[in-house]
Structure 1
Amino acid sequence: MTLKETSNHIMSTPRQKRTWQEMSLPANTNLRHVVPDPFPLDVRKLLVAGNRIQRIPEDFFIFYGDLVYLDFRNNSLRSLEEGTFSGSAKLAFLDLSYNNLTQLGAGAFRSAGRLVKLSLANNHLAGVHEAAFETLESLQVLELNDNNLHSLNVAVLAALPALRTLRLDGNPWLCDCDFAHLFSWIQENASKLPKGLDEIQCSLPMENRRIFLHELSEASFNECKFSLSLTDLFIIIFSGVAVSIAAIISSFFLATVVQCFQRCTPNKDSEDEDDDEDD
């Protein structure tokens, strides 16, 4: 494997230690794993685009805690394991575009709290957990364009207070009731989209056509105000079943108490007959 030193600098230190500012790993279609050994531990900018790397080792950033910029474009990354970014306290720019990611779990970027730009464009993302970006309070640029997203929980974006630029175009958005809250958020934050509502399309339910978001309005989702989500239906059904069971148990308990009371209480007619016999 050949490493290319693209723009390193020699910095004067008491021990004359050489500091590598940037390292580039040439494209190699046979490389499927990235290991810590080849790179200087104090590298700050690492370019490994254009390979077939399938995973980032869990201890990668423990070795490279000085990394500020990581270009991981055009690889074969399939998932982000929990703890992948442990030790990445200085990482500010992360490019994971053109990989094979399909899901982002809760806390996928935990410990990467200094990220300023994150590109996840041109993957196969179909789901993003609402807590996927929960620690990225410094993130200003987020690229989710050209994925396979049909909907997105607004909580995902609400967790990014510093967000300035957002790419959502190129996804097969579905303009149903699940999309209504995201549409409201997009309307209120249209300035964060490079082309506003003109760059995003969605498919209308029951219709075989796509429209741009600027053709929609809040009135387009009026029927959603009176519709119930699947979660709401489950809650209603569960509540009804629970109430029915409670009513049955209460009735059974009450009937048992009444029966016991009747058995334990002397019969008045029997007492009267006994009194007559005594007379």
Structure 2
Amino acid sequence: MPGTGEPPPRGWATMGRWRGPSILLAVLLLLCPLPAPACPHTCHCWAGDVDCRQRALHEVPRLLPTNASSLWLGYNLIAVLGARAFPSLPVLLRLSLTHNRLEKIHRQALLGLGALQDLDLSDNYLSVLSPETFLPLTSLSILNLGYNRLEELEAGVPPALPQLQAIFLNGNPWMCSCSILPLWRWLGHNREKVPERTSLQCMFPESLNTYPIMAFGNDSFQQCQKVPLSAQNYAAFLLIGPFSFLASIFCCTLIGSIVVVYQHLRKESQTWRRPLSSGDH
């Protein structure tokens, strides 16, 4: 013991011997991040790229490396992206789902992909897209929706992507009716963001088949403009309804009364009519 000339207990020597390595080990554990999840056995991973193409996948693999920067899921059998279809991938920049069977994308399917810059959904069966689906993609600059089944594009889809620089829309069966008006307006104000804008064509109705969407003018959509009703118009509608109802009741009552009176008078005339005798012939 110190000051007594006796040797220190054996445990003290052991603690002194391992104190340095223990501190070093603790520092290493704090500084070294935990390893990323292993690559899915159906995919091939290297240097941040995760290649899961042509694997007959019906859904997105659940365990993906968190350091993935590119995820290739093309040429599979994925039909639906449900809510939170992907694990959190904070550094994912490119996602390709081309040539699948995608018909539906949940509004929360792309949560956790905030760093995504390039999204390829081409060559699928998408017919409806919700603007809410794209709200988490605040960094997306390239969106490929080509060769799907889109007949119209909701007005809120492009504005949901503040960093959008290029969108590909060719190969869709666009319905050139009033429903195409939001897309036509957006194209007119964002020509530089649609590289293939001149090749976008109507498929329906048949009379406009292959007609270029950008060839329409303002006059083409005059019948689609909604004219707001004035206060006088609303008041007229409110008054016409009840008055029409009361008028119809009055007319029906009047006609019914006339018929009843007529039938009554006719019956009385037949009752008081003197029958003819045989000698009157």
Maintained 8 Å contact 2:151/2:172: yes
Q: Displacement, 1:46?
A: 0.8
**In structure 2, distance between residues paired with 1:135 and 1:208:** 36
Partner of 2:169: 168
- Gapped regions of structure 2 (runs ≥ 5): 1-27, 229-233, 243-281
Shift of the 227–179 alpha-carbon distance from structure 1 to 2, 3 Å rule, reads: farther
Partner of 1:60: 63
> Superposed, which structure 2 residues align to 1:250-269 within 5 Å?
none
Partner of 2:210: 210
1:183 aligns with 2:184: yes
**In structure 2, distance between residues paired with 1:204 and 1:100:** 23
Partner of 2:222: 222
Maintained 8 Å contact 1:136/1:160: yes
**In structure 1, distance between residues paired with 2:206 and 2:99:** 32
1:184-216, CA deviations, whole angstroms, 9 ceiling, x for partnerless residues? Answer: 001111111113x31211135462623112321
Maintained 8 Å contact 2:43/2:51: no
Maintained 8 Å contact 2:201/2:209: no
Counterpart of 1:46 in 2: which secondary structure? strand
Maintained 8 Å contact 1:152/1:182: yes
Shift of the 121–39 alpha-carbon distance from structure 1 to 2, 3 Å rule, reads: closer
Partner of 2:121: 120
Moved more, 163-172 or 219-228: 219-228
Q: Displacement, 1:40?
A: 9.1
Partner of 1:148: 149
**In structure 1, distance between residues paired with 2:130 and 2:87:** 19
**In structure 1, distance between residues paired with 2:44 and 2:208:** 54
Q: Displacement, 1:218?
A: 2.3
Q: Displacement, 1:47?
A: 0.9
27, 36, 40: which one aligns with 1:36: 40
1:143-177, CA deviations, whole angstroms, 9 ceiling, x for partnerless residues? Answer: 00000000111211111010001100100010111
**In structure 2, distance between residues paired with 1:199 and 1:227:** 32
Shift of the 227–49 alpha-carbon distance from structure 1 to 2, 3 Å rule, reads: farther
**In structure 2, distance between residues paired with 1:41 and 1:201:** 40
Maintained 8 Å contact 2:44/2:51: no
Partner of 1:7: none
Larger proportion of helix: 2
Shift of the 180–227 alpha-carbon distance from structure 1 to 2, 3 Å rule, reads: farther
> Superposed, which structure 2 residues align to 1:86-105 within 5 Å?
86-105=87-106
**In structure 2, distance between residues paired with 1:98 and 1:39:** 17
Counterpart of 2:57 in 1: which secondary structure? coil
Counterpart of 2:139 in 1: which secondary structure? coil
Q: Say which one has the larger Rg.
A: 2
Partner of 2:18: none
**In structure 2, distance between residues paired with 1:125 and 1:223:** 29
Shift of the 219–107 alpha-carbon distance from structure 1 to 2, 3 Å rule, reads: farther
The one-letter code sitting in structure 2 at the alignment partner of 1:51 is R
The one-letter code sitting in structure 2 at the alignment partner of 1:48 is C
> Superposed, which structure 2 residues align to 1:61-80 within 5 Å?
61=64, 64-80=65-81
The one-letter code sitting in structure 1 at the alignment partner of 2:207 is E
**In structure 1, distance between residues paired with 2:116 and 2:152:** 24
Q: Displacement, 1:91?
A: 1.0
The one-letter code sitting in structure 2 at the alignment partner of 1:175 is C
- Percent identity between matched residues is 25
**In structure 2, distance between residues paired with 1:75 and 1:127:** 21
Counterpart of 2:95 in 1: which secondary structure? strand
Shift of the 41–119 alpha-carbon distance from structure 1 to 2, 3 Å rule, reads: closer
Shift of the 152–39 alpha-carbon distance from structure 1 to 2, 3 Å rule, reads: closer
Counting matched residue pairs gives 204
50, 54, 71: which one aligns with 1:50: 54
Q: Displacement, 1:220?
A: 1.1
Q: What's the TM-score once normalised by structure 2's chain length?
A: 0.64
Counterpart of 1:221 in 2: which secondary structure? helix
- Gapped regions of structure 1 (runs ≥ 5): 1-13, 24-34, 229-235, 245-279
Q: What's the TM-score once normalised by structure 1's chain length?
A: 0.64
